[in-house]
A and B are shown apart, each in its own frame.
Chain A
Amino acid sequence: MKRYLVPLLLAFLFVFEGLFAQLWPADWFNGDYIFVPRFLIIALLFLSIYGSMKHGIMYGFIFGLMFDMVYTEIIGIYLFMFPLAVYIFWNIMRLVDTNIIVVSVVSIICVALLESGVYLMNLLIHIANMDFSSFSKIRLIPTLILNFSFILLFAYPFKRQFEKFADSLRND
């Protein structure tokens, strides 16, 4: 049972992101700001550091591909960006101390990198036609605020859950 808990949690977050986008009162502040939920990637980052890096990258591929198919219909962007974000995160974490505050701060930095990477790719394929300053005002900063509050709430439960997962892997 414990073995399936992590993929189930990730799948729930995947569905929840779509639901969140739909139910979030988007006309706050006249709808000037866009809050993008990035809960899935946060869970993946925590999984890679507290669980196992291999599983983090693998689920990054699977859920990146699903995200592309279901939510954007352009296959490739998230398929590439999710594992890359996990890989960069893991490499930064090797250099610094892994207490929960540092992990939270570095993961919010990685969310910012992911957002900017997605923006750059969309700019390249002419889906986005916005300069970086308005992008950061409309989407990047509100998104970081939303996701940081999510991390504040869920950092500790995630840590415990993924450490249990790592234990069960080691016991096998």
Chain B
Amino acid sequence: MPQFFLNKRLIILLVSIIILVALIGFSLRDREELTWPEQFVKDTTGLVQSMVSRPAHYVAGFFESLKDLQNTYEENKELKKHLDDIARTEAKLYSLERENAELKEILEIEESLGDYEPMQATIISRSPDRLWHEMIIINKGKSHGVEKNMAVMTSRGLIGKVKSTTPFTSTVQLLSALDPTNRISAAVQGKEKPLYGTIEGYDKENEWLLLKGLPIDAKIKEGENVITSGLGGVFPADVPIGKVHEVVPDEFGLNQTAYVKPEADLYNIEHVMILTRGMTMPPESENNEEAEGENL
């Protein structure tokens, strides 16, 4: 009898390992869309999560404001200093924007890769399995027009891209994820011309992003801006990512790797913007006709 039980246990273990490997293999594939049970579970939990997260945020927000009050005086002094600079930059920006519009008119360019439409979203949850899965769940989904691989940013800079969507929520993979398939085409705003590379990988210990594939002869200085390049995918161009911290030759000496300090805070995120590239949008007239048709 004991022999039989031992065998039964062994068989259960073996079968479950086979199922485990099959399931992991299935979910590791580069999937276009989640299966419907997954979407259903995510949407249901998303509903509960958004109900719970709102009041929790109010309570957390209250304590945070109390903490903020403590150093208001210091901050105010600092901000006043910056304010003088801002007036000057704003004036400059205004004239540059007008000049840009005029020049575009001359060249008859209507759209550029840098055009995007921001969509506001709020975080309802975050994956507790941090370090392996740096993901956040937001309250906008397929029915609001979110698609896979769209760029997501806070007011300060890029934080990640949409990993998957369900009808009412979507999951965003942050830049700090260790996942090697998490790649973003980026460029260094050099003195003369932009230098292209890809953001791949994250150094947890120093909190640096790795910008790989930069040309070996390029001279990149510390503190230069890194932005999205807008090449490929649905990413818009010119979204700030961070600043170059250090440049080293890569392991084979063919390329350079830049360590980039991310601009956005990847920890305390509350509101995000999902960016829809303006250029891939269908023409205006089509939308209007559809809308009119529905009204009739």
Q: Indicate, yes or no, whether A interacts with B.
A: yes
What residues make up the interface of A, taking CB atoms closer than 8 Å to B? 11, 14-23, 25-27, 31, 34, 36-37, 66, 68-77, 79-80, 118-119, 122, 125-130, 134, 138-139
B20 is an interface residue with CB less than 8 A from chain A: yes
Q: Are B129 and A127 in contact (CB under 8 A)?
A: no
Known contacts: A34-B130, A73-B164. The answer to whether A15 contacts B52 by CB under 8 A is yes
Which are the 7 A-B pairs with shortest beta-carbon distances? A18-B125, A76-B23, A26-B267, A22-B126, A21-B128, A76-B24, A71-B127
Question: What is the predominant secondary structure among interface residues of chain B facing chain A?
Answer: mixed
What residues make up the interface of B, taking CB atoms closer than 8 Å to A? 16, 19-21, 23-24, 26-28, 34, 37-38, 41-42, 45, 48-49, 52-53, 56-57, 60, 123, 125-133, 135-137, 163-164, 171, 178-180, 204-205, 207, 265, 267-268
Contact partner, A73, options B20, B163, B267, Cβ 8 Å: B163
Given contacts A73-B163, A76-B21, A76-B23, 6 further A-B contacts (CB under 8 A): A16-B52, A19-B53, A21-B127, A79-B23, A128-B178, A130-B204
Known contacts: A22-B126, A130-B204. The answer to whether A75 contacts B60 by CB under 8 A is no
* Closest Cβ neighbor of A135 among chain B residues: B131
A23→B63 CA distance, assembly (Å): 12
With a cutoff of 8 Å between Cβ atoms, the chain A residues found around residue B48 in the complex are 11, 15
With a cutoff of 8 Å between Cβ atoms, the chain B residues found around residue A25 in the complex are 268
* Closest Cβ neighbor of B204 among chain A residues: A138
With a cutoff of 8 Å between Cβ atoms, the chain A residues found around residue B180 in the complex are 126, 129
Known contacts: A23-B56, A126-B180. The answer to whether A73 contacts B130 by CB under 8 A is no
A148→B20 CA distance, assembly (Å): 30
With a cutoff of 8 Å between Cβ atoms, the chain A residues found around residue B45 in the complex are 14-15, 66, 70
With a cutoff of 8 Å between Cβ atoms, the chain B residues found around residue A20 in the complex are 128
Q: Are A125 and B123 in contact (CB under 8 A)?
A: no
With a cutoff of 8 Å between Cβ atoms, the chain A residues found around residue B178 in the complex are 127-130
A77→B17 CA distance, assembly (Å): 11
Total A-B pairs, Cβ < 8 A: 125
- CB of B205, distance to nearest CB on chain A (Å): 7
Q: Are B133 and A72 in contact (CB under 8 A)?
A: yes
Q: Are A80 and B126 in contact (CB under 8 A)?
A: no
A119→B129 CA distance, assembly (Å): 10
Contact partner, B171, options A19, A21, A73, A129, Cβ 8 Å: A73
With a cutoff of 8 Å between Cβ atoms, the chain A residues found around residue B265 in the complex are 27
A69→B135 CA distance, assembly (Å): 12
A16→B55 CA distance, assembly (Å): 13
Q: Are B41 and A72 in contact (CB under 8 A)?
A: no
A79→B16 CA distance, assembly (Å): 10
A92→B107 CA distance, assembly (Å): 76
* Closest Cβ neighbor of B205 among chain A residues: A134
Contact partner, B137, options A18, A31, A119, A139, Cβ 8 Å: A18
Q: Are B49 and A125 in contact (CB under 8 A)?
A: no
With a cutoff of 8 Å between Cβ atoms, the chain B residues found around residue A15 in the complex are 45, 48-49, 52, 125
With a cutoff of 8 Å between Cβ atoms, the chain A residues found around residue B132 in the complex are 72, 118-119, 122, 127-128
- CB of A156, distance to nearest CB on chain B (Å): 24
A119→B163 CA distance, assembly (Å): 22
With a cutoff of 8 Å between Cβ atoms, the chain A residues found around residue B27 in the complex are 68, 73-76
- CB of B134, distance to nearest CB on chain A (Å): 10
Q: Are A18 and B24 in contact (CB under 8 A)?
A: no
A27→B69 CA distance, assembly (Å): 19
Q: Are B42 and A21 in contact (CB under 8 A)?
A: no
